[in-house]
């Protein structure tokens, strides 16, 4: 099976490339700019067709949450129009698409983990652009899996784990919001889940459970709890050390509003694909070891 993933330099694409090295019968080709630029929709179909995919994983996105507030056109061009173009190209090629989306499609007012059927109500431009992308993907290719995930971290690219480790080299104490709750999710786990789902999509039996799924790390925390775990792990591995101080969202003003609760219930994915993410603390340890080069 040949899987083509967009967003070549991104966390999910790089994790997928790594995970596929351990699997027989799966080839992953990552495409990125300039060959595939979602902001230039005319070249998207051509770039995908050239790789002759059996399945496309749509992981490229405009992910700068605060910057998107100042550049809504750019965010929508990539996350909505661009995502739709990718889905349109897959439909034309007659192949399924796995499209990555986000917990930020919710407004965070629920008092429990969100399920797939809960009403969406993004409170940021990024969230709104990703929701528009979900809708475009669903319109253009009915053979889609939309995987809403959250709080991605990995050894690759930019993420919260790397930011906290960097800040710990610069300060003794890091102030982190303790009133936004969610599920930290390792991109290495997402890659594993995608390969598991891909095997079912490409198998002999006709797969029919297309649709939207939540796919996040097992267990929940807030950003402060996540930072504490990162620094405990760092300390144990001989990495940088710092204290974490709990603060409220109001004490950390940002351009974009984030949901206070963006916990995702991933039971539907587990029931359909027989795959459940490890506990987020265990995956944090694995990613930290990868970053510190200790296995
Ligand atoms: N990061 C997170 O915490 C979460 C992410 N998601 C979603 O998961 C998916 C993967 O996220 P993640 O791997 O973390 O993303 P990253 O931010 O690590 O990578 C995104 C990739 O998209 C590429 N990209 C941006 N703009 C364009 C464009 N115009 N044309 C082509 N490529 C472009 C970037 O390219 P370049 O390197 O050239 O800039 C980058 O390689 C995204 O859809 C994201 O919305 C969902 C929940 C949480
Ligand atoms: C670095 C830092 C962040 N924070 C807060 C700000 C914010 O509320 C929260 C997370 O900060 P970040 O800006 O790193 O994360 P953010 O960019 O909001 O992360 C999001 O990215 C997009 C792409 C998604 O789809 C989401 O699932 C989510 O992962 O932590 C602190 O309180 N102290 C700090 O030192």
Tens digit of pLDDT for each residue in 87-102? 999 999 999 999 999 9
| 10, 83, 104, best to mutate for ligand 2 pocket (most atoms within 8 Å of CB) | 104
Burial class (CB in 10 A: 0-12, 13-18, 19+), 181: middle
Give the atom of ligand 2 at the shortest distance from the alpha carbon of 174.
35
Cα distances (angstroms) measured from residue 100 to each of 266, 293, 294: 14, 28, 29
> What's residue 91's pLDDT?
96
Ligand that comes closest to the CA of residue 59? 1
Q: Which of 126, 140, 153, 213 is catalytic?
A: 126
- ipTM surpassing 0.85: yes
Task: Please give all residues whose beta carbon lies within 6 A of any atom in ligand 1, as ranges.
Answer: 7-12, 32-33, 36-39, 59-63, 78, 100, 102, 130, 149-152, 157
Tens digit of each residue's pLDDT (9 = 90 or more) over 21-30: 988 999 999 9
Q: Could you count the other beta carbons within 10 Å of the beta carbon of residue 216? A: 29
| Helix, strand, or coil (residue 224) | helix
> What's residue 219's pLDDT?
98
> What's residue 148's pLDDT?
98
Pairing of strands 181-182, 221-222: antiparallel
pLDDT of residue 295 exceeding 70, the answer is no
Residue nearest to atom 17 of ligand 2 (CA): 65
239: nearest Cα among 224, 229, 225, 226: 229
Residue nearest to atom 3 of ligand 2 (CA): 176
User: By the 8 A CB rule, do 28 and 5 touch?
Assistant: yes
| Residue 126 designated active-site | yes
Q: Residue 85 C-alpha to ligand 2 middle, in angstroms?
A: 28
pLDDT of residue 203 exceeding 80, the answer is no
Cα distances (angstroms) measured from residue 259 to each of 16, 89, 159: 28, 33, 18
Q: Residue 160 C-alpha to ligand 2 middle, in angstroms?
A: 7
Q: Residue 46 C-alpha to ligand 2 middle, in angstroms?
A: 35
Question: Domains of the chain, with CATH numbers?
Answer: 2-158+184-218+263-278 (3.40.50.720)
Q: Which two tokens stand for residue 98?
A: 């796995």
Q: Residue 27 C-alpha to ligand 2 middle, in angstroms?
A: 33
Give the atom of ligand 2 at the shortest distance from the alpha carbon of 159.
14
Decide: 163 in ligand 2 pocket, CB within 6 A: yes
Question: CA geometry: angle at 198 spanning 197 and 200, to 5°?
Answer: 65
DSSP conformational letter for 252: S
> What's residue 204's pLDDT?
61
Model confidence at 44, pLDDT cuts 50, 70, 90, reads very high
Decide: 187 in ligand 2 pocket, CB within 6 A: no
Tens digit of each residue's pLDDT (9 = 90 or more) over 238-268: 999 999 999 999 999 999 999 999 999 999 9
Q: What is the mean predicted confidence (pLDDT) over 7-13?
A: 97
Q: Residue 60 C-alpha to ligand 1 middle, in angstroms?
A: 4
Decide: 61 in ligand 2 pocket, CB within 6 A: no
Please report which helix (H) or strand (E) contains residue 92, including its range. Answer: helix 83-93
Q: Residue 148 C-alpha to ligand 1 middle, in angstroms?
A: 13
Beta carbons within 8 Å of 40's beta carbon, 6+ residues apart: none
| 66, 151, 240, best to mutate for ligand 2 pocket (most atoms within 8 Å of CB) | 151
């Amino acid at each position: 099976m040949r899987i083509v993933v967009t967003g070549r330099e991104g966390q999910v694409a790089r994790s997928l490339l790594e995970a596929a090295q351990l699997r027989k019968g799966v080839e992953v080709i990552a495409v990125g700019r300039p060959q595939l630029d979602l902001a230039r929709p005319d070249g998207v179909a051509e770039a995908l067709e050239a790789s002759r995919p059996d399945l496309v994983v749509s992981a490229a996105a405009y992910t700068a949450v605060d910057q998107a507030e100042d550049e809504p056109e750019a965010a929508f061009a990539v996350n909505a129009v661009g995502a739709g173009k990718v889905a349109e190209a897959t439909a034309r090629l007659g192949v399924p698409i796995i499209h990555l989306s986000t917990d930020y499609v919710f407004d965070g007012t629920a008092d429990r983990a969100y399920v797939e059927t809960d009403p969406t109500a993004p409170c940021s431009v990024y969230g709104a652009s990703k929701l528009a992308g979900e809708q475009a993907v669903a319109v253009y290719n009915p053979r889609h899996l939309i995987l809403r995930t959250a709080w991605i971290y990995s050894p690759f690219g930019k993420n919260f784990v790397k930011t906290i480790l960097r800040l710990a080299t610069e300060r003794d104490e890091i102030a982190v919001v303790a009133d936004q709750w969610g599920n930290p999710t390792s991109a290495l786990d997402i890659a594993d889940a995608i390969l598991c789902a891909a095997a079912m999509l490409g198998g002999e039996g006709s797969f029919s459970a297309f649709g939207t799924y939540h796919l996040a790390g097992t267990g929940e925390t807030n950003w402060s709890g996540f930072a504490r775990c990162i620094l405990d792990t760092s300390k144990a591995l001989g990495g940088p050390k710092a204290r974490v101080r709990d603060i409220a969202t109001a004490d950390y003003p940002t351009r974009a509003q984030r949901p206070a609760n963006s916990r995702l219930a991933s039971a539907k994915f587990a029931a359909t694909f027989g795959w459940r993410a490890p506990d987020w603390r265990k995956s944090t340890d694995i990613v930290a070891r990868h970053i510190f080069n200790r296995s």
